[in-house]
Amino acid sequence: MLDQLLGLIQENSQKAIVENPQVPNEKNNDVMTTIMSAITGGMQQQAASGNMQGIMGLLSGKEGQSASAGLMDNPIVSSIANNAIRSITEKFGLNSGAASGIVASVLPGVLQSLISKVSNPNDSSIDFNSILGGLAGGSSQAAPSTSGGFDFNQIGYALADGKLDMNDLINVGGSLMGGGNKTGKDQAGGLDLGGMLGGLFGK
């Protein structure tokens, strides 16, 4: 997952980073990996806080529009952007304006490409299971195997094509995990998918 994500960042960084005179050539890759760390770290933080719906909504394209402005208004993306800007200014000595320009130029394209790939069942390069498994530090099968056979793809693709809305997320998770298993259920009897995902990330 990390290799694919870094590849997307490289594809979107030619003008903003590689051709940017404010970024020394020897620091190009370091700036790119800093942005990648902000993306993965931001998603891990969301998982730890139990924001399963936000993560799945973002990756399926249901939270944050395809337009750059709409995507950057997504609270998860906004948090990732702020973390990336702060890290770039601290690590590389760029002023906040320059760092903001880099992130604003790179991040929307990266996330749009990621969403397009993850939410497309015909694109096998990266999917919901592989990205969640990668964030958990495992293989492409880490997420479903860790969660007892839970298949994030089934939910993600259903969200992406409109067969499922966010209100159905907990019910679908319960059916996939098995209704008789009380582990991870909230007080209302529904599956606490946010807590489960946070557990996958080692929190």
pLDDT tens column, 146-173: 444 557 777 777 777 766 665 555 554 4
Question: Which of 50-54, 83-87, 131-135 is modeled with the greatest confidence?
Answer: 83-87
Residue 62 lies in a domain: yes
Are residues 164 and 113 both part of a single domain? Answer: no
- 148 sits in the region (left: phi over 0; alpha: psi -120 to 50; else beta) called left
Residue 123 lies in a domain: no
**Closest residue by Cα to residue 59 from 71, 45, 73, 41:** 71
Q: Which of 76, 97, 118 is the last residue of a domain?
A: 118
Are residues 110 and 143 both part of a single domain? Answer: no
Residue 182 lies in a domain: yes
